[in-house]
Structure 1
Amino acid sequence: MELVGVPEHLRVLAESVVAEAEKDPRVVAVIAGGSVASGTSDEYSDLDLVIVCTAEGQPELLAGAEEFAGRVGPLLAAFTGEHVGEPRLLIALFGSPLAHVDLKFVTPDGLRERVEDGVVLWQRDDTVDRVRKESVAEWPQPDAQWIEDRFWVWAHYVAVKIARGELFEAIDALGMIRAAAIAPLAGIGRTTRPAGVRRLETLAPELVPALKETVATADAADCLRALKASVDVYRTVRERVQVVRRTAAEEAVVDFLG
């Protein structure tokens, strides 16, 4: 079995998933996504697999997803992905050696709405090929105006949390601002697969010194400093896009920060 792009430390698990799929008539294909699909996998990569299954078989496969994973290898822990809005997903940890594997059980119709085509590791028939001919993979792209419409509300929210002494809430919110506002704008034109702050150091190395200043400790003065730094970095990356600036909100919040 030739598993194109699957790193060595995940190869045995990938082979086991394919072997289980071949034995189960409800499964029609196994597709690798994530870093395998993008060609960026390394010794630290997880394994993101889409298990394409019949519409009739999907409910049973989802109900028995953990049992399916247990047949694949030494399963240490597993849970479904409702917390990320994806109940079709089983997130699993195998070991030893430790390996993180995501198994998403998708029908052919469900495969039509996808963010990537992925690498087909195995298929029973031409179902995946037909779906790909009839639909297009679309990776969600950032909406700069959506971000600008929200950024100043978020910044004010963080400032109030700092003033109230809710420092860990403020630190979490600063991280959200990096992931939901700064990183998406910084990545425009630099990646077609934006994913929050992931690989931001590589995508925008010139921003790293300024981004370091957006990280705060559990100290009110330091949180306020990091928030002001976040505003500065946001203004920098906003220069790369065309938006209707919420100038009144921007001026009011900057004045509020002092």
Structure 2
Amino acid sequence: MIQQEFANKAKKILQQDDNVIGVAVSGSWLTNEIDEFSDLDLIIVTHQRISDHKSKMLDYAKRLGNFLSGFTGEHVGEPRLLICLYDNPLLHVDLKFVTLEEFHLRIETPTILFDRNGLLEKAINDSQAEFPYPDYQWIEDRFWTWIHYALLKIGRGEYFEAYDFMGFLRMVVLGPLLHIKNGNLPRGVRKIESQIEREDLEKLKHTLPAYSKQSLLDSLRNAVALYRQLRVVLFDDTVILHKNTEKK
């Protein structure tokens, strides 16, 4: 696969840099799910911090292949990430630049490609991967006000706003909760088509609106119904439900 070829080439190049402690790979590589549509997620661990300087991140990126363009990942909450596009072959590669101390903090355990002095392996053995799970109370505190917001947009005829809101609701609330119900990590709606039960997927499909007032209202009602069902299955007694807000 082109991802593996790129990773092996990058490893050989980065091994020659004394500032690089090691290189690891994460993402779909870990579950053997790489296909022609997959990107490549590389973690570059360095002695000196690279992520404070975009120019240094770009310098590293340009060494690794036929670099087309790249930008930092503030929009996904990760400024240490450089999102890159390479050519020959055309490939999306995410380069995450961390120090050894930062490498201890991770949401999954990556596969090590290169480990100069065994420090990456030691860091993995001395730490625990912790994937962030949604706070159910945080969701409940916001959900009904979000629904009211969507109704205002529909009422005013701002259908594009309402349409986009439905995508937000699936990404932040419905997708993660459905994944948890089905025993998966709560990765938004990633691979949800293949990782949840058919009945659950059909319910989620019913939150997809067409561009019309009635369809938006129907989709919103379906989203509310699905949230109520998931709340019963997943929430415990420590979550305070806003019943009066829900009623209004």
Q: Give TM-score, length-normalised by structure 2.
A: 0.91
Indicate yes or no: 2:13 matched with 1:20.
yes
Listed as ranges, the gaps of 5+ residues in structure 1 are 1-7, 253-258
Any idea what SS the aligned residue of 1:42 has?
Answer: coil
Query: For residue 161 of structure 1, what is the aligned residue in structure 2?
Result: 153
Alignment length (residue pairs)? 244
Q: CA deviation at 1:40?
A: 2.6
Query: Hey, what's the Cα distance between the residues in 1 that align with 2:182 and 2:200?
Result: 13
**Matched-pair contact (CA < 8 Å) for 2:51–2:97:** no
Query: For residue 3 of structure 1, what is the aligned residue in structure 2?
Result: none
Q: CA deviation at 1:72?
A: 1.2
Query: Hey, what's the Cα distance between the residues in 1 that align with 2:57 and 2:202?
Result: 44
Any idea what SS the aligned residue of 1:240 has?
Answer: helix
Q: CA deviation at 1:9?
A: 2.1
Query: For residue 217 of structure 1, what is the aligned residue in structure 2?
Result: 210
Q: CA deviation at 1:142?
A: 2.2
- Equivalent positions of 1:78-157 (< 5 A) are 78-157=70-149
Q: CA deviation at 1:140?
A: 0.7
Query: Hey, what's the Cα distance between the residues in 1 that align with 2:141 and 2:67?
Result: 44
Query: For residue 27 of structure 2, what is the aligned residue in structure 1?
Result: 34
Q: Give TM-score, length-normalised by structure 1.
A: 0.88
Any idea what SS the aligned residue of 1:64 has?
Answer: helix
Query: Hey, what's the Cα distance between the residues in 1 that align with 2:222 and 2:52?
Result: 50
Distance 1:212 1:192, change over 3 A: closer
Q: CA deviation at 1:62?
A: 4.7
Compare 135-144 and 238-247 and name the one that shifted more: 238-247
Compare 220-229 and 36-45 and name the one that shifted more: 36-45
Query: For residue 228 of structure 1, what is the aligned residue in structure 2?
Result: 221
Query: Alpha-carbon deviations, 1:36-87, whole Å to 9, x = none?
Result: 1233322221101110111x25368753222222221111221111222212
Q: CA deviation at 1:168?
A: 1.1
Q: Cα RMSD (Å) of the superposition?
A: 1.8
Compare 232-241 and 154-163 and name the one that shifted more: 232-241
Question: Which stretches of structure 1, 4 residues or longer, exceed 3 Å deviation after superposition?
Answer: 59-62
Query: Alpha-carbon deviations, 1:122-172, whole Å to 9, x = none?
Result: 111111122123221101112222212211111111111111121111111
Identical amino acids, percent of aligned pairs: 39
Query: Alpha-carbon deviations, 1:88-119, whole Å to 9, x = none?
Result: 11000112332110000000111121111110
Query: Hey, what's the Cα distance between the residues in 2 that align with 1:143 and 1:137?
Result: 18
Query: Alpha-carbon deviations, 1:185-204, whole Å to 9, x = none?
Result: 11225345221011222232
Query: Hey, what's the Cα distance between the residues in 1 that align with 2:167 and 2:142?
Result: 15
Query: For residue 206 of structure 1, what is the aligned residue in structure 2?
Result: 199
Code of the aligned partner of 2:135 = D
Code of the aligned partner of 2:43 = V
Q: Which of residues 218, 235, 240 in structure 2 aligns to 1:244?
A: 240
Query: Hey, what's the Cα distance between the residues in 2 that align with 1:156 and 1:65?
Result: 43
